[in-house]
Structure 1
């Protein structure tokens, strides 16, 4: 084997000198390191072999030259270390309970202790609670879909690594078992945390690297034209200010609008997993006066929908007496937006209960799908955002 290696190296050297100078492919850097790794490992193996082949007497002489105090201290130290108790010696249930009580920062620190704790601390069931507690209000189905697309694209790009084929061939030609493992471990060390873990997702959101779809109340710093509305945006977290950075898609001929410093109270996960340009299919059969609703509205056909808060009002002939009210039986549904003054063209609008799709015009805008608010938390949230001044 030694003869083969000594004859193979000059052949590779001669071949490299004879090749024309051309631009190397991106994976050539990986292969270039193989020779360095090969000779380094070969030298290490020869030294290890030499150590094993040394006469037993020589090894005894080397051990006897160590001062007695050092030999004694070495033995005492070994005994003390063997008697120390590790956290891994705890019962399984106790260790699991400790890890469940750790914060995300504590789990991340514990994962760096050793390989055994690293696998435990990266477990999804430990991070699922932290994901729900911190990001549950702003992460919805659309954000999960965005993450899945990101993971699929990452796997596809890694699967297309051109140098992997050459590594397979060289690992067969060279009788070195560590060759392929060394290259693969070198690639993994650049990103030791798997992307498909909840820990990785939590940290990517926390660091602001992951942009995800969400909705922002009263967009553009509470601009008067967007009061009591909620619009789609791409957001990322800023851990320095504990706020979010939002990017709103272009509206008509307007460019993309960015807003920094969006507070937690102005953010929510999209309640409906559809595009802002798609009509939400609605069932209006059970709407009654006094119901709280959100309705899709857009300024023109070129604009995306936003969700606007309103209530179901009585028809004009009805005096609101519950004993004689038959508004819920009518085909016409009256939407009222009480944030606007009486008489404003934005105060009320009527839609068809049975045949409602999208109604409106380029002057008053277009009214789309309707969501009936069932949760008291959703209704109280809109009440918190109520403008201090009545809008015209």
Structure 2
């Protein structure tokens, strides 16, 4: 380019006007290029300064960042784990997930469910340790199984985490992993179901042990009931029909009745009942009634009598299932093959327990 300009300059030396024009054109060209270069440099410098002045979420103090993360929902925390490794490590912390666990699952996580989960985690950890001890270069089934445990598979796919190449994994013994297994329906846990088998008339106002798992698309549960012979199952069980299962009362064990001496007419109770001795017990709701020879409320002495009338008012007065009588002092399983067998008794002591049963009351009396 310089040689070209020199040639033109030499050619036009004899012509003063031509030389002036050429020099003027060269000056304007050089000035224009210099101006563009200067503006470009200024813009790039300003852009770099703006980028340097931007604050990253990770630049916040730990306490501030933690307060922000505590405001996120489970699905939002899951998405945050896809951003970077630093946020992933923070978002899987137990203290962030305990609140979510208690809010959604605390009501159903009874002692029996917690024990089952701990046993499940212990089994997985044992498989993981055994795989690490293996001297074989080829990974065995347990190491592959444990390595593939990814929480919130449905959330990550819905929010595009898989497309970002995320490969995060929550620790097996973390609260996040527990929560995700419940949400994904991968963990069957013990609970009790009111009015089992879609409110079948034979189970109205009862509560039976079952193994359940969650279905997040319908926000309902699938239940499997223990029974003699065919194992009954039920879909679309709502939250309102569930309560936690207690570890100290097995479905086939007779409950120790420690409330019989204090029962009075009008008290609400649950009593174990089963059709035959080969079946597990269910819990049935009832109200303590008056003895046949009682004068009524004003002169009632039923509380001092050895026998207690147990009424099941969901049945018609003429139904054989309407009442039964048990002995306060020497109560054991009583009954026969025709009317079934009555077991232990629990007195209901809170309004929440009683109101839950009343909400399940049938629209008309049962036969």
After TM superposition, the score normalised by the length of structure 1 is: 0.72
Question: What's the offset of the Cα at 1:189?
Answer: 7.3
Question: What's the offset of the Cα at 1:76?
Answer: 7.1
Q: How does 1:27-106 map to 2 (within 5 A)?
A: 80-106=50-76
| Partner-residue secondary structure (3-state), 1:310 | strand
Match of 1:347 among 308, 314, 322: 322
Match of 1:310 among 280, 286, 295: 286
Q: How does 1:106-185 map to 2 (within 5 A)?
A: 106-161=76-131, 164-165=134-135
Distance (whole Å) between structure 2 residues aligned to residue 384 and residue 249 of structure 1: 25
Distance (whole Å) between structure 1 residues aligned to residue 108 and residue 179 of structure 2: 13
Gap runs ≥5 in structure 1: 1-67, 168-183
| Partner-residue secondary structure (3-state), 2:265 | coil
Cα distance 1:69–1:165, how it changes in 2: closer, same or farther (>3 A)? farther
Question: What's the offset of the Cα at 1:126?
Answer: 1.8
Q: How does 1:1-392 map to 2 (within 5 A)?
A: 80-161=50-131, 164-165=134-135, 191=150, 192-250=169-227, 252-253=228-229, 255-271=230-246, 273-283=248-258, 284-322=260-298, 324-392=299-367
Question: What's the offset of the Cα at 1:136?
Answer: 2.1
Distance (whole Å) between structure 2 residues aligned to residue 379 and residue 126 of structure 1: 34
When structure 1 is superposed on structure 2, of 105-114 and 328-337 the one drifting more is 105-114
Question: What's the offset of the Cα at 1:91?
Answer: 2.8
**Which has the larger Rg?**
2
Distance (whole Å) between structure 2 residues aligned to residue 146 and residue 387 of structure 1: 34
Question: What's the offset of the Cα at 1:278?
Answer: 0.9
Distance (whole Å) between structure 2 residues aligned to residue 100 and residue 273 of structure 1: 35
Q: Is the 8 A contact 2:113 2:245 kept in 1?
A: no
| Partner-residue secondary structure (3-state), 1:293 | strand
Q: Is the 8 A contact 2:125 2:172 kept in 1?
A: no
Question: What's the offset of the Cα at 1:238?
Answer: 0.9
Pairwise CA RMSD: 2.7
| Partner-residue secondary structure (3-state), 1:296 | strand
**Deviations along 1:326-353, whole A, 9 cap, x unmatched?**
2112221110000111122111111111
Question: What's the offset of the Cα at 1:215?
Answer: 1.1
Distance (whole Å) between structure 1 residues aligned to residue 49 and residue 266 of structure 2: 78
**Deviations along 1:241-298, whole A, 9 cap, x unmatched?**
1111111122x23x11111111122111125642211111121221111110111100
**Deviations along 1:82-136, whole A, 9 cap, x unmatched?**
4321112223332222122111111111222223322222222221221122122
Cα distance 1:363–1:190, how it changes in 2: closer, same or farther (>3 A)? closer
After TM superposition, the score normalised by the length of structure 2 is: 0.76
Cα distance 1:189–1:383, how it changes in 2: closer, same or farther (>3 A)? closer
Distance (whole Å) between structure 2 residues aligned to residue 215 and residue 148 of structure 1: 20
Distance (whole Å) between structure 2 residues aligned to residue 190 and residue 380 of structure 1: 41
Distance (whole Å) between structure 2 residues aligned to residue 293 and residue 190 of structure 1: 44
Distance (whole Å) between structure 1 residues aligned to residue 327 and residue 77 of structure 2: 55
